[in-house]
Structure 1
Amino acid sequence: MRKINLTIAVLAGASAIALSAPAFAQDAAPQAAADTPDANSDIIVTAQRKAEKVTEVPISITVANAAQLERQQVNTMNDLNRIAPSLEIQQAPGQNTGGGGSIRGIGTQTFSAGAVASVGVVVDQVSQGNANISDLFDVSRVEVLKGPQGTLFGLTTSAGVINITTNAPDFNSFSARVRGEVSDAGTAGSKFGNQVLQGVVNVPLASNAAIRVSGVANMRQGVNRNLTTGNLNDTDRYGVRARLLWEPTDKLTVNVIGDYAKSRIENGGDFFTFVKTSASVAAELANCGIVPGEGNSNYCTDSSYVGHNENYGGSLQIDYEAEPFTLTSITALRKSNETGYGAASNVFRADPLAIQVANGPVNRRLSLFTQEFRISSPSDQFLEYTAGAFYSRQKQTRDPETLSVMLTLFPGMTIPLVDPATAGAGANDSIVDESLAFFGQGTFHLSPSLRLIAGGRYTTGRLSLDRYNYATSVASDTVLNVDNFSYKFGGQYDLARNTMVYATASRGFKGGQIATPSAPAVPFTVLPEIPTAYEAGLKTTLFGGWVADLSVFYQKIKNFQAQQCTVDNNSVISCVQRNIDGVKSRGAEINFFGKVFDGLSLNTGFIYAKATYPGGFIGTDGTDIGGSQLAYAPKYKFTLSGEYEAPVSSRLNAFVAADTVWKSRVRYEANSRDETTFRSHWLVGGRVGIRTEDDRYSLAIFGRNLFNVHEPSLMQSDFPADGAANIGAIYGPQSFRQVGLSFDAKF
């Protein structure tokens, strides 16, 4: 409660400062990004590494501008689930795949240290790899690019790209902004507490230089509660970004960006709780008050442990207009460190259970260096092209992470099933992923209406694991070398001034993995993932600015990289990586986004994505699940975000906003157990508030998941044993109702 009161005081103080800003601030126009739908009828994107109208890009894209991200309260990467029907992000604690996203049902869910994502995350043209950001603040635009994007984007983008652009500094005027969201567990029906404070200051340094500094504090209480202490888990994150923009000449542009973020997570944060148990396990849990059931977020333990994460990096981008083309260099370094006790330190978090599984502290360090060179032609010529080279080196080291399993036979008599000094001693791992790629893509303007597209990317790489396993006292060196050529071909035709059709065929690439199972198993390689995709689409502009994006798609994946988790005889969750050949995803999607007319902005979409296992595929329960939907992939999904604004006086406007998602049934395991699926459901939220006519100040009441639907992030059977009789689930903020206040002030 002290933290909540302090946050409210800070927000109130910030509001007072904003409302009493001096006259020069009142005269200064608030910054509006010219590339957003609300600022211009043309929506500009950088999906092909240059600024273009979204209606001219032959890729299915969902675009969310700053206004939409803010009205939907998209504050974290996980919140991006709600902006696009094709995008799912299910980040279980401990997964390190740079976002954990899937597009059209295709994604990577893994705990493997040597894995990378199927959906790449790019921030200000820098590939994030596995050192990805968590919080989104001061963002100008998010583009969800669907299907393989391996021709123009670095690192692995076999399923698509989340392309994030932050707000650029402004040379013209000083500006500042503060916005916040406050909710408290138990107040107005909110099931957990969350306080978010974001701020930004833009300072012109000269007529051709400016710096922009932004920051965020995101403090959450819950959703998990320790019944032993009565306290909700605290999850606190803080971040800052500074961006310097300098144009020393009319041909040279320099962007320097640096960011830093840290987090503190108590008792595992959002981790497994019991949702279904046998009578014997339920009786044990009842001794501390846990009642298994859908939506149970309670655990009970005397243990108290904390995990820490920090993530930071910097980039230097130089653009030089060396007529008739533009040269670009982007140099970036990112690092992340995870220390302390991770989510799985106390797996069951239930002291009365006879069996206890615990992991020791973690010390994981990751660094990613990338260098990209590009050359781009002007857009007004027969052959319009982009070509370049991309180098990346990602290194991760992990200190030994111990495992212990203890069984209590009767009070005072406990025996080890896995001894942390021997079988659970862990290993030293050092994983290096190094690659070099050369790429190019061109558009041939055969006529004012007809264009042909051709591109390719050659990638050579080396993935290596140096391991010393303390359980077996064995050192090993595992290497996977790769060479790959990916491509894209297609065409597009303008049916009318505001309507374009296109068709493309592309082959993507996702690097291999070196799986790191526990002893006595030895590391093994998982082959690269190769998707071949076909897409056709139509884009048009309605009502002068509302974009319609319709696409049909088919893709087949060679060596799809999957993870299958089971529980062994000692109640230890064991996740195994493997290739599955013949996974398919096909379907259709329609999206509408932008401003319909003055006063109404509406982003909505629907997808049918049949993403299936190959025929004859055997699931973790021994049943044939060939032809059934992939885990974590809803077959149908609908999203809607809209806001309507109307004046209530000469200086005030009222607004009402909706934020709705519908999903069909989702499975969470690669088997046929209904107990680890979640039914079709709606998640409904929105905001009601007022803002000043000049859009400087606003105040609103918001609600998310108003009907308190308990959608899980992850489900696991055999938790702690006995198949479908015992089920555990991970619930996050999306799983419970949140009601609170939000405000925004610009000066």
Structure 2
Amino acid sequence: MLKRTWGALRTSWLPVCSLSMLALPAAAQTTDSANALEEVVVTAQKRTESIQDVPVTVTLVSEEFLAQKNITAVDELSRAVPALSGNNGNYGIRGVATGGFTVSSEQAVATVLDGVVMGRTNINNLFDIQRVEVLSGPQGMLFGKNASAGVINIVTNAPSLSEFELIGSVDFGNFERERERLTVNAPIGSTAALRLSLQNNSQASPIRNVLTDTRGESESYGGRLRFLWEPSDNLSLNLIGDWEETRNNGESTFAFSVASRPAVVNALAACGIVADRRNREVCSEGVYRNNSEHRYGASAQVDYTLPNDYVITSITAQRETTYGPSNFNGLGGDTDTLPINILSTNMPSGEDKNFSQEIRFTSPAGQTVEFVAGLFYYDNSTESNSIQAGRLGSFAPLLDAAFYPGAVTARSYNINVDSDGWAAFGQATIHVTDKWSLIAGGRYTEETLSAVSHRADAAALASRGFVYFPAFSGTFPNVDQGVDTDNFSWRAGVQYDWTPDVMTFATVARGYKGPAVNDLAVVSDPSLVIIDEEIPTNYEIGIRANIFDHRIFASATAFHTKVDNFQTQVYVPSSATNPVPGFANGNAPYITTQGVDIQMFGRITDGLTFNTGVIYTDAEYSDSFVVACSSYQTATATCPAGGTTRSIDNLANVSDWRVLVGGEYARQVGSFELFVQSDLVYETGYSMSASPDPFLVMPDRTLLGARLGVRSPDGRWGVSLWGRNLLDNYYPTRSPDPLGGFNGGGSTSYISTQTSNLYRTYGIAVDFRM
């Protein structure tokens, strides 16, 4: 195992060495080129620095690049960042994502908005964005406990003190796509300014409900208000408030793609539906038409510069997310997507609240010792409610016999999670010589977590018109558990500046992801109620270079990460304290991920720019990791005794290779500027499950997008035609039918997620600035 790991890592470092040999001679060139890049700055180390000088793997997605790739949501950033994957708030970087899901679970990738760590409250829509920085590898030392795999750092446009501006865009496309953006920037005297940004989105789903003859629809709207006040040269106040509301009409987002047993085939046929890989029809009677989610946030940042250029920064923030109806009793969230009430009520609701306070002290740049140090406090509360109800398909006769004809059973829970903690952190760069620098830092964290879950009893269900069926109603646990933890995470490294344009570094970092509580699974062994903290250790060696007369920036990083106590679903064998074996959220011994990450962007000639990234990732489970047999193994009687099997070799949902290539060519013709943009995403196939299953294998994927347009040379207006997935390649995410045991499908039915971005989409966009 050690020999194989070293061999793979040695091979992955070859591109780094090759890039180094390419970059060193180029650094001696002059920087007089008219096509030289402007300096690119990032805040990956909580200070403004040139990306050339940062010993962290940072993928920068600029405002221009977001527009070029037509990226309007965090979920779409994976089309611009090779190392990033996932959606709906569960993101992964370099193959490391959240593997275990409980209400109290932390995310492996932290989302930061204008310096505020979002915690369990999150955002999705991107508008009026200056840049997005995706930091790979453990970043918990500076960004907190839920950054064990990396950080998505979103920086919005600050108010401008210099001029009044009105900026807008409209975007229309197929699948009833509609996007509107409007920003107003208004100076207030010479020391203050307001910036109001509004957004509205709507989209139709490709899925049609044949029972109601309707399609899925979703919309969101909201805005952001920023106020900047700079009363003196050494004091700055930034106040930010944002809000967003998201609604959908309750139609399903998935449809049957595989069905072989007569019960499911006949139920679908009664609606005129045939299950296949491109099936976009469902037959749901449980549609709730007022499903909504509300997000709010406010922050106050004060920066004070001392006479010696040291800066004190304070960021106070409050964020809140609420979703779903808390008192809903009717049909809605139909899980079975069939015209019978198997499980036609599945409605979650809840809220997340997060308060945070950060104070940090930053030294000026250019000194022998540069440092950032600070204190961080947070207080998070989460409430999660759910009710699932139905006739349970094949169990319906039992309900009729035990209770009354037409009886509907349900299960419901309420979970309250409270967590709070504080941390002290600091990082220093010591410039030993003009070329050599040492990097050292640490973060000490103390936190408290408690989770209380309560299962609805027979009386509570009866008050809502449901019967208590123990085999179903009693499956959610009653839990009252808490845990106190402390942790010290750290980072150390060395940096060498060969020239002002070529830098190499080597670092090692120990991260941290907080513990969780098994609040959604019955665990009879008390020692398994608490899911231990997750500890990643990451090694990196990298190079950054400005080459070819500063026309191109290039970086390459070789990495190796081992995540001990990886939080995921694990097999729990029978014991004196756990008489019934099974699966629960817990800790796998470890996972490893290693590879190389290469990025380049720049200007080849006047009018021709490009941006490309390549990542190779070798991600594996530990040799002893055991998982539940897949549906396919059960259906084909290939499941070993005990219902467990060795996991697949590679980590689920992780491609070995991801390649992203994009660019623009622009040319002025008369008083107009014509431009064409294109982007290509290629990634190798992967398994969508840790258990062996040929139905859950994603093939190699190729996605091509383009934009063709005309604009004014000064950027005041533009009109363009755009398209995504122009080849109309279809790559749905598939999973076993969760109700196969109730609807007669057994282990031989599968469902596929259906969203508009799985298909060819196209439209027209108009932009203006005045």
TM-score range, shorter chain: 0.7 to 0.9
Number of aligned residues? 685
Q: Does 1:470 align with 2:476?
A: no
Between the aligned partners of 1:418 and 1:299, the Cα distance in structure 2 is 30
Aligned residue for 1:20?
Answer: none
**Distance change in 2, residues 1:623/1:542 (3 Å):** farther
**Distance change in 2, residues 1:465/1:517 (3 Å):** same
Q: Which moved more, 1:626-635 or 1:606-615?
A: 626-635
Q: Which moved more, 1:276-285 or 1:99-108?
A: 276-285
Between the aligned partners of 1:514 and 1:38, the Cα distance in structure 2 is 55
> What letter is aligned with 1:276?
V
C-alpha contact (below 8 Å) 2:37/2:552 kept by paired residues: no
Aligned residue for 1:510?
Answer: 513
Aligned residue for 1:532?
Answer: 537
Between the aligned partners of 1:448 and 1:85, the Cα distance in structure 2 is 33
Between the aligned partners of 2:538 and 2:207, the Cα distance in structure 1 is 41
Aligned residue for 1:605?
Answer: 613
Between the aligned partners of 2:148 and 2:522, the Cα distance in structure 1 is 31
Aligned residue for 1:746?
Answer: 769
Shift of 1:401: 2.5
Aligned residue for 1:380?
Answer: 366
C-alpha contact (below 8 Å) 1:434/1:463 kept by paired residues: yes
Aligned residue for 2:749?
Answer: 726
Between the aligned partners of 2:751 and 2:407, the Cα distance in structure 1 is 28
**Distance change in 2, residues 1:474/1:233 (3 Å):** closer
Match of 1:345 among 330, 333, 337: 333
Aligned residue for 2:246?
Answer: 263
> What letter is aligned with 1:362?
P
C-alpha contact (below 8 Å) 2:185/2:195 kept by paired residues: yes
Shift of 1:717: 5.3
Q: Does 1:555 align with 2:538?
A: no
Match of 1:317 among 297, 301, 304: 301
Counterpart mapping for 1:318-467 below 5 A: 318-324=302-308, 325-340=310-325, 345-351=333-339, 356-407=342-393, 424-467=410-453
Between the aligned partners of 1:38 and 1:235, the Cα distance in structure 2 is 43
Between the aligned partners of 2:299 and 2:758, the Cα distance in structure 1 is 36
C-alpha contact (below 8 Å) 1:256/1:317 kept by paired residues: yes
Between the aligned partners of 1:669 and 1:418, the Cα distance in structure 2 is 40
**Distance change in 2, residues 1:476/1:575 (3 Å):** closer
C-alpha contact (below 8 Å) 1:403/1:419 kept by paired residues: no
Aligned residue for 1:188?
Answer: none
C-alpha contact (below 8 Å) 2:570/2:626 kept by paired residues: no
Counterpart mapping for 1:464-503 below 5 A: 464-471=450-457, 476-503=479-506
Between the aligned partners of 2:153 and 2:683, the Cα distance in structure 1 is 24
C-alpha contact (below 8 Å) 1:552/1:588 kept by paired residues: yes
Shift of 1:623: 5.7
Aligned residue for 2:26?
Answer: none
Aligned residue for 1:677?
Answer: 697
Shift of 1:726: 1.1
SS in 2 for 1:107: coil
C-alpha contact (below 8 Å) 1:111/1:575 kept by paired residues: no
Q: Does 1:64 align with 2:48?
A: no
**Distance change in 2, residues 1:403/1:303 (3 Å):** closer
Between the aligned partners of 1:49 and 1:39, the Cα distance in structure 2 is 27
Aligned residue for 1:118?
Answer: 108
Q: Does 1:225 align with 2:208?
A: yes
Between the aligned partners of 1:334 and 1:680, the Cα distance in structure 2 is 39
> What letter is aligned with 1:101?
Y
> What letter is aligned with 1:57?
V
Structure 1 stretches lacking a partner, 5+ long = 1-36, 92-98, 185-191, 566-573
SS in 2 for 1:658: strand
Q: Which moved more, 1:575-584 or 1:477-486?
A: 575-584
C-alpha contact (below 8 Å) 2:504/2:541 kept by paired residues: yes
Match of 1:614 among 597, 601, 622: 622
Between the aligned partners of 2:404 and 2:424, the Cα distance in structure 1 is 48
**Distance change in 2, residues 1:587/1:298 (3 Å):** same
Between the aligned partners of 1:610 and 1:743, the Cα distance in structure 2 is 42
1:276-333: CA deviations, max 9, x gaps?
1114122321111222121322211233213110000100000000233110000000
Match of 1:276 among 252, 255, 258: 258
Aligned residue for 1:195?
Answer: 178
SS in 1 for 2:482: strand
**Distance change in 2, residues 1:514/1:358 (3 Å):** farther
Shift of 1:516: 1.8
**Distance change in 2, residues 1:576/1:309 (3 Å):** farther
> What letter is aligned with 1:339?
G
C-alpha contact (below 8 Å) 2:211/2:339 kept by paired residues: no
Q: Which moved more, 1:700-709 or 1:723-732?
A: 723-732
C-alpha contact (below 8 Å) 1:196/1:218 kept by paired residues: yes
C-alpha contact (below 8 Å) 1:623/1:671 kept by paired residues: no
Q: What RMSD, in angstroms, separates the aligned Cα atoms of the two structures? A: 2.8
Shift of 1:410: 9.8
Between the aligned partners of 1:445 and 1:211, the Cα distance in structure 2 is 40
Q: Does 1:104 align with 2:125?
A: no
SS in 2 for 1:81: helix
Shift of 1:507: 0.3
Shift of 1:668: 1.5
Between the aligned partners of 1:201 and 1:418, the Cα distance in structure 2 is 62
| TM-score where L is the length of structure 1 | 0.87
Aligned residue for 1:583?
Answer: 591
Between the aligned partners of 1:38 and 1:253, the Cα distance in structure 2 is 35
Between the aligned partners of 1:225 and 1:207, the Cα distance in structure 2 is 55
C-alpha contact (below 8 Å) 2:647/2:692 kept by paired residues: no
**Distance change in 2, residues 1:582/1:481 (3 Å):** same
1:694-722: CA deviations, max 9, x gaps?
11111111111112222234523565246
Between the aligned partners of 1:555 and 1:419, the Cα distance in structure 2 is 57
Between the aligned partners of 1:530 and 1:474, the Cα distance in structure 2 is 28
Between the aligned partners of 1:593 and 1:550, the Cα distance in structure 2 is 12
Q: Does 1:647 align with 2:668?
A: yes
Shift of 1:360: 4.4
Aligned residue for 1:43?
Answer: 40
Between the aligned partners of 1:294 and 1:481, the Cα distance in structure 2 is 47
Between the aligned partners of 1:635 and 1:719, the Cα distance in structure 2 is 32
Identity %: 31
Shift of 1:425: 3.3
Q: Does 1:237 align with 2:220?
A: yes
Q: Does 1:705 align with 2:725?
A: yes
> What letter is aligned with 2:84?
L
Between the aligned partners of 2:404 and 2:563, the Cα distance in structure 1 is 38
Aligned residue for 1:34?
Answer: none
Pair member with larger Rg: 2
C-alpha contact (below 8 Å) 1:719/1:726 kept by paired residues: no
Q: Does 1:166 align with 2:149?
A: no
SS in 2 for 1:296: coil
Match of 1:687 among 707, 715, 732: 707
Shift of 1:357: 1.8
**Distance change in 2, residues 1:477/1:623 (3 Å):** closer
C-alpha contact (below 8 Å) 1:407/1:417 kept by paired residues: no
> What letter is aligned with 1:514?
V
Shift of 1:725: 2.0
| TM-score where L is the length of structure 2 | 0.84
C-alpha contact (below 8 Å) 2:675/2:708 kept by paired residues: yes
Structure 2 stretches lacking a partner, 5+ long = 1-33, 458-473, 572-581, 630-642
1:404-444: CA deviations, max 9, x gaps?
34226899996799999998432221101211110000000
**Distance change in 2, residues 1:413/1:519 (3 Å):** closer
C-alpha contact (below 8 Å) 1:84/1:144 kept by paired residues: yes
